[in-house]
Structure 1
Amino acid sequence: MKRFLSFVATVLLFAGCQHPGTEPGDTEMDTYISDLMSKMTTQEKIGQLNLVTPGGGILTGSVVSTDVEQKIKTGQVGGIFGVYGPEKTRQAQRLAVEESRLGIPMIFGSDVIHGYKTTFPLPIGLSCTWDMELIKQTASVAAKEATADGIFWNFSPMVDVSRDPRWGRISEGAGEDPFLGSEIAKAMVEGYQQKDLRDPTTMLATVKHFALYGAPEAGRDYNTVDMSHLRMFNDYFPPYKAAIEAGVGSVMTSFNDVDGVPASGNKWLLTTILRDMWGFDGFVVSDYTSVNEMIAHGLGDLQQVSAMALKAGLDMDMVGEGFLTTLTQSLEEGMVSEEDINKACRRILEAKYKLGLFQDPYLYFNADRPATDILTPVHRQLARQAAARSMVLLKNDEQLLPLKKSGTVALVGPLVDSRNNMLGTWAPTGEARYAVTVLEGFNNVLGDQVKILHAKGANICNDPDFAKKINVFGPKIFIDERSPEAMLKEAISLARRADVIIAVVGEATEMSGESSSRTDISLPMSQKKLLRELEKTGRPLVVVNMSGRPMAIGEEVELADALLQMWHAGIEGGNALADVLFGDYNPSGKLTATFPVNVGQVPIYYSIRNTGRPQGSDEFQKFKSNYLDAPNSPLFPFGYGLSYTSFEYKDLILDKPTLTNLDEIKVSVSVTNSGDYDGEEVVQLYVRDMVASITPPMRLLKGFNKVFIPKGDTKEVTFTIRAQDLAFYHPDLSFYAEPGEFKVFVGGNSNASLSASFTLE
């Protein structure tokens, strides 16, 4: 019989979380809100649960609210989004504070996903930095800029674990791993909220989408999610829980169903897990019209689904206004209670209290701040650093990179001079006009040291019907008036005159993101043809892939002499790319999502569980778990990324052979920079439970450390393993570690081979 070894860890995991700086038991706050609520009518309480968008500003959905001004004056609006700028937000707040009966201020929100005006790399790109302090800084800058424009409630971070690159919104998260995702969730919440929500440069964060949004069937957005509770708790829930423990102020529900019940009306999710098990004391907001969409799920009419959502634990209804229009009737008919409405209203009012709005409803509307706090040189420099650190070097034959700042370079591809595709998806507050294109970045960094020849070479794709789907929010795919043949001919002629070719290819911004799922995650044929012809010139070929998801780029890897995964790198992406390719920065990014050989391998991730018939290598064996037409191994594994230098791992040492519940094991490894450049390495630690009561993953990330090592130097990197780090959820959802043998792997990616063993007693 296995015995519980981590009872204390279990208690802590199931206990409530005290949030820094929020003081949920604050007597003064409770007294103030109780007094206010005693003066409110039922309709005014319901009004606090109503989140609207007037349209015409930052549009993030297909529906806009109507008659917003009158609703604000009559106390029927608790929050608003899609409005920005201190003058506009102050004007809207004045309607609530000075023209409604009780003068309750509104909360102003927005989707500030990867920066406000200073746009940083896509979240999946930022995750590839493995740099928690950097990620925290980007969130702090986003908060400073957004609050300068009157926005102080953020619909970020998105922490959905995803192992399916067909799903477009993989671009908005941290990839496939719950441990890394949890660390990033914590860093982002701390960056947005910091230590004092009444500081006008901080903003209330929202963890989303609760829950499991990143695992839809067929990789199709908004689709059904169906998984075991074991997989939920062990693989998908941890980042949400980490955000709760970090003190996140609000939670947003997801569009999908969980155990057959849509998340916005799922009491098990919103009450049993979120509040009873994890102790969350903030408020829960629906995603855009997700309450109304429960009708299409088959849960009833608007009154029924609105009552269901409120009783499940949803506090605020985004845009759909089902709460506003039906809860009074539902109260009269006994479908909801006064207590249900009071509970939700109190949570919204508590958030406003914690933000300091009752003390100063105009705290965030300083007309002087936009000129001093937005798009500053310091912010742009951080964006440039983040972009460079997010890029992942996937191939570098014969040390082609870094390139010398001399000679002639052919800069070719449809994304070389495409300003509208630099920011990436879900940058509704960003402005493409401020972005540095690749061509501009090369000119900025290289000046007249390198002769740059430029040709488009190909369209992103040649299909006008596909382009129409992508260009819903403006031109992202521009189909040239010239024929594909003419563009290709120009590019090849130019390439033959160069010393090296740099081809910038990939996805338009809206080829990933929300409602941008793809069944074919390879490069469009127009760009494949371009690369094939460029390779035939015999010139060294550097391929830069700009995308919002892992792609099936096996052919491109073969064609290229060097390949860099750029992602959509944000406002300073052009400058950062030149910094990396020409050696001003040595790339240190590591993949946080596995790159498949082809889409048929999807879903694919490193932490797989063995079958009863495992195949030990990629050599085909009949009656083993494998494919006839592809290997089991991915194109590039989780944690993978090259450098211009090389790192050697040796001397993996455990300070003791056994571990108990009361102590810890120190794991140390020596890492030597044996190459010719100074560089950073993400040292990764994985653990495998060799025998367990349920099939264990082959290995799990349990630690990482990004270290700078000058060329020729050696650094000792140390990790600590405790019993609670080895714990997992069991079929009865108890959480503890089981005694037995464990294996530790340390290296530069999830295929790390340097290993040692210890026993948990």
Structure 2
Amino acid sequence: MPEHPASLNSLKQSLVNPLLEQMTLPEKIGQMCQVNGAGGWVPEDLAEAVRNGQVGSVINEVDAETVASLQKIAVEESRLGIPLLIGRDVIHGFKTIFPIPLGQAASWNPELVEQAAGIAAIEAACAGINWTFSPMIDISRDPRWGRIAESFGEDPHLTSELGTAMVRGYQDNGIGACAKHFAGYGASQSGRDYFTTEIPENELRNVYLEPFRAVAKAGVASFMTGFNDLNGVPASGNEFLLQQVLREEWQYPGMVVSDWESISQLTTHGFTADDREAAFEALNAGVDMEMVSRTYADHLASLLEEGRLSIAKIDAMVANILLTKARLGLFDQTFTASVSEGGKQELALEQARQLAAQSCVLLKNNGQCLPLRPQQLKSLAVIGQLADDGYEQLGTWIFDGDERLSETPLQSIRAHLDGVAEVRYAKALETSRSQDQSGFDDAVSVVEQAQAAVLFLGEESILSGEAHCRADLDLPGCQAALVERLSRIGKPLILVVMAGRPLTLAPVLEQVDAVLYAWHPGSMAGPAISDLLFGLQSPSGKLPVTFPKVVGQIPIFYNHKHGGRPPSPETVVHIDEIPVRAKQTSLGMSAFHLDAGYQPQFPFGFGLSYTRFDYRHLSLSHTEITADQSLTIEVELENSGDVAAEEVSQLYVRDLVGSVTRPVKELKGFQRNRLLPGDVKTLQFTLTPEDLAFYDRKQQRLVEPGRFQIWVGGDSDAELTAEFELK
């Protein structure tokens, strides 16, 4: 896709502008309308609308023959021959399903994320799809929100890196990407979908908009507005977001599409009186294309006739759509039904296995319970409904996923131990939500006869994703009771959690010997998890989001502000330590909860390995730099254990004094390295002044002189530190 301004201008002059000059008003409005597909056939009314130029895009049509027929009508039978955008939610795979995006983020591996998106694009293109509504790059600090599963977590830098990688994967393989949801949707109050967000502009710019700014710079084909209202103005009618920020400040040349019926929902918000006013507000704000609802089709012509809208405004928005189609090469394609290339499935599944393995995070491993040694096992118990369910392991938002490609953990464990040890299985629960404990006795019997047990617990896929938010983040149903019952047996107990969000694990954490957090790993969950359980690979995933101890700590995230009374171990008092009838006082108090302290269960960036990595000898190329200098940071990393493994090393920075208060730490770099036992490697990070930039109290992006502290380590609690000054 050409991104240079000269290339874009050439496309406008040679293709877009000549088309605009020929288009009637109904044809222009038609380009601004996206309709829902009929699901495998072309109804005559849809064929006629496409033939008359009244449709610019079709969503949710994945039958290759049907798509080819629609494109043939658009290109060969309509007056101007403008091809259609064929949209689909290809979120973490098409036929081959990769880990949910939050799981992919735990890999901290942009290269694998890009490759996964590329495979998804190739598979989807075989169905005629040329546009996906991904990546979702909402900063997500609230695990109650169901759509955290679709996100890359809580950090702007990690989300920016993985979001741009996913964009490259899609667009280098023929499918336009769509950055969503613009903007602030991840801060929905109470973690409830479709709800209100209140974000101060400075926080909006410094945190929530940063990934969108990154993908805009990387040439993402389109943006999607959110369902939320932001500070009183719904995203689909938000002129500040779509005009001031996106068009004027970022000079974004692509197109903007609404979310599903979100323009007509402006009236539901109470922002407009009816669909007519909703169409006016959305178009005036800068939404180029309306998804599914018909406010544009029904009202733009009369609004133009009344003089409330200008034809120049409509022309500019239609030009954005036509330019996007041109950038995707749609005008140069021959539209015929295609068939998936043979020999690609094995490669896709291997990529899915690798990404799934790197996405799993080892949270606990008492006494080196893991890895399991097959030669020392006579019998292994496998417990839980999620151990052998090829559908549930795929996770949320997998409309086109092929469950037949799934290999479950139970299948892989049995294959790995075939002829070596006996595998005993008990389902124990019908579903993750079940309150029926009648299967517990069978599970107890199986564990009693085994040397160790692996429990596959967590959430069914339907419990996360859009419109699936939770107020209670404990293991649902009676899973905690199952853990408690099995823990009494005294056998080594390994908990594998498959879920679409961080769960509060405190109720079960002390009752198990090891915890491997696998998210929803996708098609190859079984081989990936088996590889880790038996030590064929060492876990290398790191948390992309902070895990709370209890729901009452939410929102809890690593890059919070310092505050005037920051907590410390010395200032924390537990509720049970307060004397009865104690006198009220605020002396010595700090920002903590009496019943939960201030620290999370697991910090951002955390993840254990089967080896030990040591960081030492942190050095800086300069202790003072100027605004035109970069800083080189070096640190020594040693694998001081006896297992070859990969480590994700992380660089954090704190601006100690700013014209607006700055976070206690911010991720500014990371890298993944594989070291053999005893290996020592000198890592190098580069920090530029632009990496230190932020928006000040006047909402101007700048780099302020001052002192900065840096840390390098294996998670956000890294202690190895140094300071420098920017003059």
Normalised by the length of structure 1, the TM-score is 0.91
Residue 372 (structure 1) aligned to one of 316, 332, 342: 342
2:371–2:610 Cα contact (<8 Å) kept: yes
Give the 5 Å matches for 1:428-507: 428-461=399-432, 484-507=436-459
Tell me what 1:396 maps to: 365
1:157–1:206 Cα contact (<8 Å) kept: yes
Residue 348 (structure 1) aligned to one of 309, 317, 321: 321
Tell me what 2:502 maps to: 550
Per the alignment, do residues 19 and 272 of structure 1 end up closer, same or farther by CA in structure 2, a change over 3 Å counting?
Answer: farther
Q: 1:25 is paired with a residue of what secondary structure?
A: helix
Tell me what 1:267 maps to: 239
Q: 1:388 is paired with a residue of what secondary structure?
A: helix
Higher relative contact order structure (alpha carbons within 8 Å, sequence separation ≥ 6): 1
User: Per-residue deviation at 1:575?
Assistant: 1.3
Give the 5 Å matches for 1:36-51: 36-51=19-34
Q: 1:494 is paired with a residue of what secondary structure?
A: helix
Instruction: Choose 613-622 or 636-645, whichever is displaced more.
Output: 613-622
Q: 2:223 is paired with a residue of what secondary structure?
A: strand
Q: Which runs of 5+ in 1 are unaligned?
A: 1-17, 59-63, 195-200, 464-478
Give the 5 Å matches for 1:284-363: 284-298=256-270, 299-362=272-335
Tell me what 2:577 maps to: none
1:596 maps to amino acid: P
User: Per-residue deviation at 1:691?
Assistant: 1.8
1:79–1:106 Cα contact (<8 Å) kept: yes
Residues of 2 paired with 1:565 and 1:66: CA distance? 50
Q: 1:577 is paired with a residue of what secondary structure?
A: helix
1:174–1:181 Cα contact (<8 Å) kept: yes
Tell me what 1:579 maps to: 531
Deviations 1:457-486 (A, max 9, x none): 1233456xxxxxxxxxxxxxxx9xxxx343
Per the alignment, do residues 668 and 681 of structure 1 end up closer, same or farther by CA in structure 2, a change over 3 Å counting?
Answer: same
Deviations 1:91-136 (A, max 9, x none): 1112222332333221111111111111100000001111111111
Q: Which runs of 5+ in 2 are unaligned?
A: 574-587
Tell me what 1:629 maps to: 595
Residue 141 (structure 2) aligned to one of 163, 169, 179: 163
2:256–2:289 Cα contact (<8 Å) kept: yes
Instruction: Choose 551-560 or 743-752, whichever is displaced more.
Output: 551-560
Tell me what 1:153 maps to: 131
Per the alignment, do residues 533 and 619 of structure 1 end up closer, same or farther by CA in structure 2, a change over 3 Å counting?
Answer: farther
Per the alignment, do residues 623 and 28 of structure 1 end up closer, same or farther by CA in structure 2, a change over 3 Å counting?
Answer: closer
Residue 698 (structure 2) aligned to one of 732, 735, 760: 732
1:156–1:206 Cα contact (<8 Å) kept: yes
Per the alignment, do residues 236 and 648 of structure 1 end up closer, same or farther by CA in structure 2, a change over 3 Å counting?
Answer: same
Residue 683 (structure 2) pairs with residue 705 (structure 1): no
Instruction: Choose 23-32 or 684-693, whichever is displaced more.
Output: 23-32
Deviations 1:587-642 (A, max 9, x none): 10000000000000000000111221222127524632111111210000000000
Q: 1:244 is paired with a residue of what secondary structure?
A: helix
2:33–2:289 Cα contact (<8 Å) kept: yes
1:372 maps to amino acid: G
1:618–1:633 Cα contact (<8 Å) kept: no
User: Per-residue deviation at 1:260?
Assistant: 1.0
2:496–2:515 Cα contact (<8 Å) kept: yes
Q: 1:653 is paired with a residue of what secondary structure?
A: strand
Residue 603 (structure 2) pairs with residue 650 (structure 1): no
Tell me what 1:748 maps to: 714
1:394 maps to amino acid: L
Q: 1:419 is paired with a residue of what secondary structure?
A: coil
State the percentage of identical aligned residues: 42
Give the 5 Å matches for 1:127-146: 127-146=105-124
2:106–2:359 Cα contact (<8 Å) kept: yes
User: Per-residue deviation at 1:431?
Assistant: 2.3
Give the aligned length: 710
2:671 maps to amino acid: N
User: Per-residue deviation at 1:393?
Assistant: 0.2
Give the 5 Å matches for 1:231-250: 231-250=203-222
Q: 2:683 is paired with a residue of what secondary structure?
A: strand
Q: 2:187 is paired with a residue of what secondary structure?
A: coil
1:459–1:527 Cα contact (<8 Å) kept: no
Q: 2:386 is paired with a residue of what secondary structure?
A: coil
User: Per-residue deviation at 1:673?
Assistant: 0.5
Per the alignment, do residues 677 and 461 of structure 1 end up closer, same or farther by CA in structure 2, a change over 3 Å counting?
Answer: closer
Tell me what 2:182 maps to: 210
Q: 1:733 is paired with a residue of what secondary structure?
A: coil
2:11–2:326 Cα contact (<8 Å) kept: no
1:97–1:361 Cα contact (<8 Å) kept: no
Q: 1:422 is paired with a residue of what secondary structure?
A: helix
1:743–1:757 Cα contact (<8 Å) kept: yes
1:495 maps to amino acid: V
Tell me what 1:468 maps to: none
2:558–2:716 Cα contact (<8 Å) kept: yes
Tell me what 2:47 maps to: 69
Tell me what 2:201 maps to: 229
Q: 1:555 is paired with a residue of what secondary structure?
A: helix
Residue 390 (structure 2) pairs with residue 419 (structure 1): yes
1:730 maps to amino acid: D
1:168–1:549 Cα contact (<8 Å) kept: yes
2:550 maps to amino acid: N
Q: 2:256 is paired with a residue of what secondary structure?
A: strand
1:618–1:631 Cα contact (<8 Å) kept: no
Deviations 1:428-452 (A, max 9, x none): 1212232112211222333332311
Per the alignment, do residues 525 and 36 of structure 1 end up closer, same or farther by CA in structure 2, a change over 3 Å counting?
Answer: closer
2:29–2:296 Cα contact (<8 Å) kept: yes
Residue 590 (structure 1) aligned to one of 531, 534, 542: 542
Residue 499 (structure 2) pairs with residue 528 (structure 1): no
User: Per-residue deviation at 1:151?
Assistant: 0.7
1:54–1:65 Cα contact (<8 Å) kept: no
Give the 5 Å matches for 1:561-572: 561-572=513-524
Tell me what 2:583 maps to: none
Q: 1:746 is paired with a residue of what secondary structure?
A: strand
2:710 maps to amino acid: V
2:84 maps to amino acid: M
Q: 2:83 is paired with a residue of what secondary structure?
A: coil
Residues of 1 paired with 2:11 and 2:635: CA distance? 52
Tell me what 2:17 maps to: 34
1:652–1:755 Cα contact (<8 Å) kept: yes
2:9 maps to amino acid: D
Normalised by the length of structure 2, the TM-score is 0.95
2:39–2:63 Cα contact (<8 Å) kept: no
Residues of 1 paired with 2:532 and 2:5: CA distance? 42
Residues of 2 paired with 1:142 and 1:384: CA distance? 14
Instruction: Choose 498-507 or 22-31, whichever is displaced more.
Output: 22-31
Deviations 1:148-207 (A, max 9, x none): 22111111111000100000101111100001111111111111112xxxxxx4211111
Instruction: Choose 616-625 or 291-300, whichever is displaced more.
Output: 616-625
Per the alignment, do residues 182 and 65 of structure 1 end up closer, same or farther by CA in structure 2, a change over 3 Å counting?
Answer: farther
Residues of 2 paired with 1:187 and 1:459: CA distance? 39
Per the alignment, do residues 409 and 21 of structure 1 end up closer, same or farther by CA in structure 2, a change over 3 Å counting?
Answer: farther
Q: 1:370 is paired with a residue of what secondary structure?
A: coil
2:525 maps to amino acid: G
User: Per-residue deviation at 1:373?
Assistant: 7.1
1:459–1:526 Cα contact (<8 Å) kept: no
Alpha-carbon RMSD? 1.9
User: Per-residue deviation at 1:395?
Assistant: 0.3
1:394–1:563 Cα contact (<8 Å) kept: yes
